[in-house]
Amino acid sequence: MRDRLILLPGWGLGVSPLEPLAAALRGLDEHLQVQIEPLPALGSSDLGEWLDELDATLADNAWLGGWSLGGMLASELAARRGERCCGLLTLASNPCFVAHAGWPSAMPAETFDAFLAGCHADSQVTLKRFGLLCAKGAEDPRGLSRLLVSGAPNTPSSVLMPGLELLAQLDTREALLAYRGPQLHLFAGLDGLVPAEAASDLLALLPDVEVGLIEQAGHAFLLEDPHGVAGAIQAFLHECVDD
């Protein structure tokens, strides 16, 4: 199914941020089947359980991709599936979302801990703050933030919290190194959640894969310029198929 691309969304905001990108991709190639699949609604932050759920739900032998947390999960699932995954693409997706000694180009741990505490206290207020961070660096950050948050599903904190806890512990570096298929990773130069330096760090880790940096864009660049992002993805898919 080299004509099927499955996209996974980021934390908390649901599938709507990916819809303009999916529509743009379909417009570029009528033969490409683009599916957006919601993240599992689990009460656990155990990575194995999340991957079991995704592996059982998502079609086999497809391209896997995702935005932010969705890209991290797509990376882990690609490594698990190996040759049963056509290729991997991630958007604003850091191998480690929270910084540590082995991967400093990420969100400071104290910032994330405050975010986690805020979500526990009031998940809806935290989602609004998250929307603002996603929109940082955009031409119209407030407008983009409102768009992101207004399209978010009404998810209970009992489901939002495990997703955040999973985000804190994920380290996809081993998965990315293990997966032998084609990879494209796109980052944003003005991202308020994933430092731009993560792009060069990832390229140093994986010199044989495609890593791109969109300079004047924030975390939600896929919603700011869906046609430009779709063009980059389309070129990557065609290059891999032609090979």
Task: Write out the two tokens for 173.
Answer: 């570096």
Q: Which helix (H) or strand (E) holds 50?
A: helix 47-57
Q: Which residues of the chain have pLDDT under 70?
A: 1, 241-243
Specify the pLDDT at position 54. Answer: 97
Q: Is 55 a catalytic residue?
A: no
Which candidate, 158, 210, 157, 160, places its Cα nearest to that of 187? 210
Q: Is 0.85 topped by the overall pTM?
A: yes
Distance (Å, rounded) from C-alpha 17 to C-alpha 221?
10
Which candidate, 33, 52, 41, places its Cα nearest to that of 9? 41
Q: Is 105 a catalytic residue?
A: no
Residue ranges of domains in the chain, CATH in brackets: 4-242 (3.40.50.1820)
Distance (Å, rounded) from C-alpha 171 to C-alpha 176?
10
Strand partners, 19: none
Distance (Å, rounded) from C-alpha 142 to C-alpha 196?
21
Residue 170 in 3-state DSSP? coil
User: For the CA atoms of 6, 10, 12, 16, what is the dihedral angle to 10 degrees?
Assistant: -50
Specify the pLDDT at position 79. Answer: 97
Determine which one of 171, 185, 219, 225 is catalytic.
Answer: 219
Q: What is the pLDDT of residues 178-232, one digit of tens each?
A: 999 999 999 999 999 999 999 999 999 999 999 999 999 999 999 999 999 999 9
Determine which one of 75, 93, 191, 225 is catalytic.
Answer: 191
Distance (Å, rounded) from C-alpha 107 to C-alpha 99?
5
Specify the pLDDT at position 239. Answer: 84
Q: Which DSSP state fits 104? A: -
Q: Is 68 a catalytic residue?
A: yes
Specify the pLDDT at position 242. Answer: 60
Distance (Å, rounded) from C-alpha 109 to C-alpha 168?
9
Distance (Å, rounded) from C-alpha 75 to C-alpha 50?
13
Triad 129, 75, 50: Cα angle to 5°: 70
